[in-house]
């Protein structure tokens, strides 16, 4: 959230009339939290987090809430919520302990350079499209900043494929308006050490971004 805010700040610095900004909504289906709604709201204020809307809904309606609010990216620590939201075409990301140590100064978005080999284990077609349009919007935001010292950075990681996969992904993303900043091609080398160095905030699964062999 802090990194998102940083991006907004810098965007407004570049252009005070900027309209393409991040808008953050806090959503909860937890009834306990809903009873303490004022505490939730004041806590976000306490930490200086800019949340524009608070959405208290039930477990049944939360998907509807996401859609009603035209949510482009849903972040949660709950795997069930990720599955449910993805099924209706909302790009959903599972946060974990790794995310907690990521930068608050730069939003780091990761893309995967490997072709989707088994489509049934990949993201749903609906979310793929949504992810693609979201990434195009992120690409637009990125263009407002220079090569270095950008509050938004795109990282491409190719885990299994080699240089051809990587090149294909770079070009494919470029054609969608996403200019990748950092690229790492592992070709089977261990991913763990790399990811702990890269510290992306989330992986945007826009599905097929690799080459067909």
Partner 1 sequence: MSEIKPNESAPAPGEDNGEEKDWAAAKAFFDNLKTHKPRPPKPRFAVTIAVSSRTLFNMVAERKIYEEEGVEKYVAYQLEHESEPLKPGAAFPFVKALMNVNSRLRELYPDSEELFDIVLMTNNHAQVGVRLINSINHYDLTIERFCMTGGQSPIGYLKAYMTNLYLSKDSEKVGEAIEEGIAAATMFMPKTEMELSDTQLRVAFDGDAVLFSDESEIIVKKHGLDTFFEHEKEFENKPLAQGPLKCFLEALGKLQRKFYAKNERMNCPIRTFLVTARSAASSGARVLKTLRSWGLEIDEALFLAGAPKGPLLQKIKPHIFFDDQMFHIEGAKELGTISAHVPYGIGQKYNRGKLIEPEKKE
- Rule CB under 8 A: is residue 183 a binding residue for partner 1? yes
Point out which span in 36-44, 56-64, 89-97, 165-173 binds partner 1 (CB under 8 A). 165-173
Instruction: Please answer whether residues 20 and 10 qualify as being in contact, where contact means their C-beta atoms are separated by less than 8 angstroms.
Output: no
Cα 125 from Cα 39, distance rounded (Å) = 39
Which of 176, 191 has the CB closer to partner 1? Answer: 191
Give least dist CB 131 to partner 1, A: 19
Cα 89 from Cα 127, distance rounded (Å) = 4
- Rule CB under 8 A: is residue 138 a binding residue for partner 1? no
- Rule CB under 8 A: is residue 98 a binding residue for partner 1? no
DSSP assignment string, 14-71: H-TT-------EEEE--HHHHHTHHHHHHHHHHTT----EEEE--TTTHHHHHHHTT-
- Rule CB under 8 A: is residue 204 a binding residue for partner 1? no
Q: Which of 11, 27, 112, 170 binds partner 1 (CB under 8 A)?
A: 170
| CA 202 vs CA 14, 61, 97, 108, 154: distances in Å | 25, 25, 12, 7, 11
Q: Which of 10, 156, 201, 207 binds partner 1 (CB under 8 A)?
A: 156
Point out which span in 11-19, 41-49, 124-132, 183-191 binds partner 1 (CB under 8 A). 183-191
- Rule CB under 8 A: is residue 161 a binding residue for partner 1? yes
Binding mask 42-81 for partner 1 (x = CB under 8 A): ----------------------------------------
- Rule CB under 8 A: is residue 136 a binding residue for partner 1? no
| CA 168 vs CA 76, 131, 144, 172, 177: distances in Å | 31, 18, 25, 6, 14
172-194 burial: b if 16+ Cβ within 10 Å, else e = bbeeeebebbebbbbeeeeeeee
Instruction: Please answer whether residues 89 and 128 qualify as being in contact, where contact means their C-beta atoms are separated by less than 8 angstroms.
Output: no
Total residues in contact with partner 1, by rule CB under 8 A: 37
Give least dist CB 90 to partner 1, A: 28
Give least dist CB 39 to partner 1, A: 37
- Give the interface with partner 1 as residue ranges (CB under 8 A): 114, 146-148, 153-154, 156, 159-167, 170-171, 174, 179-194, 197, 213
């Amino acid at each position: 959230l802090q990194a998102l805010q940083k991006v907004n700040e810098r965007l407004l610095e570049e252009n005070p009339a900027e309209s393409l900004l991040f808008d953050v909504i806090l959503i909860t289906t937890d009834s306990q939290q809903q009873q303490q709604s004022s505490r939730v709201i004041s806590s976000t204020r306490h930490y200086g987090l800019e949340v524009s809307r608070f959405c208290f809904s039930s477990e049944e309606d939360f998907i509807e809430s996401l859609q009603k609010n035209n949510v482009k990216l849903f972040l949660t620590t709950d795997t069930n919520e990720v599955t449910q939201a993805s099924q209706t075409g909302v790009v959903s990301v599972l946060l974990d302990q790794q995310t907690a140590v990521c930068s608050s100064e730069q939003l780091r978005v990761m893309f995967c350079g490997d072709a989707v080999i088994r489509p049934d284990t990949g993201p749903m077609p609906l979310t793929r499209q949504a992810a693609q349009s979201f990434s195009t919007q992120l690409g637009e935001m990125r263009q407002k900043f220079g090569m270095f010292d950008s509050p938004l950075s795109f990282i491409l990681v190719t885990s299994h494929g080699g240089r051809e996969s990587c090149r294909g992904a770079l070009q494919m993303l470029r054609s969608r308006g996403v200019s990748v900043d950092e690229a790492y091609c592992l070709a089977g080398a261990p991913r763990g050490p790399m990811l702990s160095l890269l510290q992306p905030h989330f992986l945007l699964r826009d599905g097929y971004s690799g080459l067909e062999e």
